[in-house]
Amino acid sequence: MNIKRLSIRSLIMFLFWIGLTASFHWQELLTGAIVSIITAWASLQLAPENPGEDLSLSNWLKFAPLLLWEIVLANIAVAKIVLSPKLNIKPGFVLVPTKLTSPRKKWFLAHAITLTPGTVTADILDDKMLIHWIDVQEGTPEVQGEMIKGKFETVLKSHQNPESFP
């Protein structure tokens, strides 16, 4: 484990803790420090190795607006489902193929899908992702994949260096 990454992440979480509690009592600061260190350690265990190294601002500027737009569209679609008098949905799991080869890009795609309302990535299996979908549409896995992945995979795939994308 990289002590520098753990220290930086712990400090960021501790500052966030102070912002949330708005208190400088020693008990709360001690609790915040302990929770921050444990949380930072756990998050480093779950994340792929060095997920944030070599980040390019231009890559983030291309990906972030797309993600936000897809989240807005998915929120509207889920709101229509929820507000509909009849719940005509078919929730279920679909196995979606991906053309991405980099573990980091797969990781970002999985999180982008999960951040989009109505879908949750349950697992990444080699060149496929197991995704829970609030309303499974008919079609082949490729067609379903395009409905779920949208432009995320295209944007992620367009960057040649797998280490240079978020």
Distance separating alpha carbons of residues 63 and 59, to the nearest angstrom: 6
The sheet that has 119-125: what strands, in order across it?
A: 92-97, 128-133, 119-125
Our CA dihedral for 74, 77, 78, 82, rounded to 10 degrees, sits at 170
Question: Stretch 53-70: mean pLDDT, rounded?
Answer: 75
Give residue-wise pLDDT tens across range 10-47.
999 999 999 999 889 999 999 999 999 999 999 888 76
Instruction: Please state, rounded to an integer, the average pLDDT across all residues of the chain.
Output: 83
Number of Cα atoms under 13 Å in the Cβ half of residue 61: 3
Residues in the chain: 166
Does residue 157 or residue 117 have the better pLDDT?
117
Q: Are the beta carbons of 82 and 76 closer than 8 angstroms?
A: no
The pTM score is 0.65
